[in-house]
Amino acid sequence: MGFFSEYINGANAYIKKINSEGGVFGRRIELLSYDDQYDPEKTVYYTQKLINDDKVFALLNYVGTPTGTKIVPIVEEAKIPLVGIGSGAQIFREPLKEYIYNLRPSYHQEADAFISGIVEELGIKKIAIFYQYDAYGFDGLKGAEISLERYGLKPTAIASYERGSLDVGGALATIKDSGAEAVFIVGVYGPTAEFIKQARAQNFNPIFGNLSFTGSEALAKELGADGNGVVVMQVVPPPTEKNLLIGVDDYINDLNASLPGHEATFSGLEGYADAEVFVEGLKRAGKELTRENFMNGLESIEKYDLGLASPVNFSATQHQGMQRVYATYLRDEKFVLFRDWKTAEFNVKKEEMQ
């Protein structure tokens, strides 16, 4: 299950529900989607197609940092609103992008949540960084370095891998030799799983922390038993929290109506939340729908409750709607939500580390 397909499945589930209820002011929403295969040049091509050929009203749910970066000037030139980017990169946040509305917290916030947890709660100071050598990886690396600097720390080691490669052995050797007690990973599930599995095989067992973009469910499947204790920071709660959070329950119910029997996922829930905020903007725009009214509607959203224990706030000067980061760790290929780093059942305790 890829991030993009699940992201769109979640958005579709919400939009289908809205359309079944008559749409917004009698207007049904049509969602067009193209697969750019995480190729920036294809992202540019399909964005121009959506704007110039398909004549869409707005854009929704783009995925990726290197891909999204390429279309920022296109969006700004066309003056077309884009709601929801499956990336926490700063380029979509600072300086403020007039036409881009992010829902998810930034990678810097995810990095800080992980590093503050292990430093303040567990007393860990030897932290290495393993990252993907591209715009996504550079952004996560920068966020981790900023967080470490707050505690007067520097990475014990920094190592990378090439996007699309599983060649992680050299990076692992560098990080293992540094004596790191924790490794912050800015990657995607394939190379990340390979890195962790090789580390386990060498009896190198620091706390592994990951960004949400890694691809949670795919990572869990790839790791199997080697995943126990691996931490993944999230921008939405686990889909298993349906009995505690009404937003998760709504997502699962609407997903089942849209795709019966389909597995609920983190990226699906994020896409669903993005679509709900998109529709809320349409409602607040009123019957006379224009892009300007739509953007004004989005910017009027304050303390909006998605049922995810993370209220949404936008304004003319704030285009990131959510601020909360959720900490999870793997246990038997399932994600466990936690708040207390001292009592979380990590697979390897600090005193057992090599």
Q: Are residues 69 and 121 in the same domain?
A: no
DSSP-derived pairing of the beta strands 231-234 and 207-210: parallel
Nearest Cα to Cα of residue 284 among 295, 274, 275: 295
Q: Which residues pair with 161 in a beta bridge?
A: 132
Tokens in use for 26? 């009698």
Q: Are residues 62 and 158 in the same domain?
A: no
* Amino acid in the structure at residue 247: G
Q: Are residues 198 and 54 in the same domain?
A: no
Residue 350 has a pLDDT of 41
Q: Are residues 15 and 90 in the same domain?
A: yes
CB of 16 closer than 8 Å to CB of 279? no
Residue 243 has a pLDDT of 66
CB of 111 closer than 8 Å to CB of 327? no
Q: In what order do the strands lie in the sheet with 59-63?
A: 59-63, 82-86, 100-101
* Residue 168, domain CATH: 3.40.50.2300
Greatest CA span in the chain, whole angstroms? 64
Residue 333 has a pLDDT of 93
Length of the chain, please?
Answer: 354
Q: Are residues 23 and 158 in the same domain?
A: no
Q: Which domain holds residue 15?
A: 3-105+239-323
Query: DSSP assignment, residue 235?
Result: S
Q: What are phi and psi of 231, to 5 degrees?
A: -95, 135
* Amino acid in the structure at residue 306: L
DSSP assignment string, 264-296: P-HHHHHHHHHHHHHHHHHHHH-SS--HHHHHH
Kindly compute the dihedral angle of the four CA atoms of residues 1, 133, 37, 95, in this order, to the nearest 10 degrees.
Answer: 100
Distance (Å, rounded) from C-alpha 172 to C-alpha 353? Answer: 16
Residue 183 has a pLDDT of 98
Number of domains in the chain: 2
Q: List the pLDDT tens digit at each of the 354 positions of the chain.
A: 578 899 999 999 999 999 999 999 999 999 999 999 989 999 999 999 999 999 999 999 999 999 999 999 999 999 999 999 999 999 999 999 999 999 999 999 999 999 999 999 999 999 999 999 999 999 999 999 999 999 999 999 999 999 999 999 999 999 999 999 999 999 999 999 999 999 999 999 999 999 999 999 999 999 999 999 999 999 999 998 876 789 999 999 999 999 999 999 999 999 999 999 999 999 999 999 999 999 999 999 999 999 999 999 999 999 999 999 999 999 999 999 999 999 987 754 444 444
Place of tokens 């793997």: 330
Q: Are residues 226 and 196 in the same domain?
A: yes
Q: Are residues 112 and 228 in the same domain?
A: yes
Q: Are residues 263 and 307 in the same domain?
A: yes
Q: Are residues 184 and 333 in the same domain?
A: yes
Distance (Å, rounded) from C-alpha 41 to C-alpha 43? Answer: 5
Q: Is 338 helix (H, G, I), strand (E, B) or coil?
A: strand
CB of 240 closer than 8 Å to CB of 234? no
Nearest Cα to Cα of residue 48 among 38, 63, 36: 36
Q: Are residues 96 and 130 in the same domain?
A: no
Q: Are residues 271 and 226 in the same domain?
A: no
Q: Are residues 276 and 216 in the same domain?
A: no
